[in-house]
Structure 1
Amino acid sequence: MERQPPSQFIPVARLSDLDPRGRAVVTVEGERVALVRIEGEVFAVQDTCPHRGGPLSEGDLEGYVLHCPLHAWPFDVRSGLCPIIRGARIRTYPVRVVGEEIQVAPFSGRVSAP
């Protein structure tokens, strides 16, 4: 299977697939990706916390900060950065919404750090 160029967006869900909290989990290139809608904008981040592997999609959301449900590690969904633990971050993906379709660019170049 040929890899897509970084600028190519792929459809992953529809806005109607988001739950009442504005969330869904999709798979992008074999990785679980959490979709989170905040104030009408959709963000896509890796669903697995780098600390202990908790499902970020199930965590509490405060503004743009998503907390891991296991140990409350916080991550800003806009940047992937953890505001309290230096060097901790999650992968973020560029997102666009075309009509009702949510599209993600799988090769953002923004990667997780241990």
Structure 2
Amino acid sequence: MQGHLGGDFIPVATLADLDARGRAVVTLGGTRVALVRVEGRLHALDDTCPHRGGPLSEGDLEGHVLHCPLHAWPFDVRTGQCLRPGARVRIYEVRVEGEHILLSASASGSFPAR
């Protein structure tokens, strides 16, 4: 998808693009971003684990914690914070407008405060 529907938000997918688990992988500015639905809410985070580069979108989800499929590093999809000290992934603000999923185009504030 191309263009802007909502301010500094960029349409990246539609709700129909989510798989049966409520997940999809999109590209934003050359970065793979995992979309993950938890308890009816969409979250977006970098899809690449900082440990060994595993695709987080393929990992197991327990509540709000997504585990890397390579070595089970646990990341909170709401904050990007790894439950192991010192590691985290970038998160993106998500909006849903109609059937469109939009991600914040702004890089500022994408890393949560520790």
Which TM bucket (shorter chain)?
0.7 to 0.9
CA–CA distance in 2 between the matches of 1:35 and 1:66?
A: 11
2:99: which partner in 1? 100
> RCO (CA 8 Å, sep 6+): is it higher in 1 or 2?
1
Contact 1:35 1:44 in 2 (8 A): yes
CA RMSD, Structure 1 to Structure 2 (Å): 1.3
The aligned runs of 1:43-58 (5 Å cut-off) are 43-58=43-58
2:28: which partner in 1? 28
Aligned-residue identity in percent: 69
Structure 1: gaps of 5 or more residues: 1-6
The letter for the 2-side match of 1:89 is R
The letter for the 2-side match of 1:22 is G
User: Cα distance 1:58–1:108, how it changes in 2: closer, same or farther (>3 A)?
Assistant: farther
The aligned runs of 1:1-40 (5 Å cut-off) are 8-40=8-40
CA–CA distance in 2 between the matches of 1:111 and 1:53?
A: 18
TM-score computed with the length of structure 1 as normaliser: 0.88
Tell me which stretches of 4 or more aligned residues in structure 1 moved more than 6 Å.
Answer: none
CA–CA distance in 2 between the matches of 1:57 and 1:25?
A: 7
Aligned length: 105
CA–CA distance in 2 between the matches of 1:51 and 1:29?
A: 22
Structure 2: gaps of 5 or more residues: 1-6
CA–CA distance in 2 between the matches of 1:81 and 1:43?
A: 13
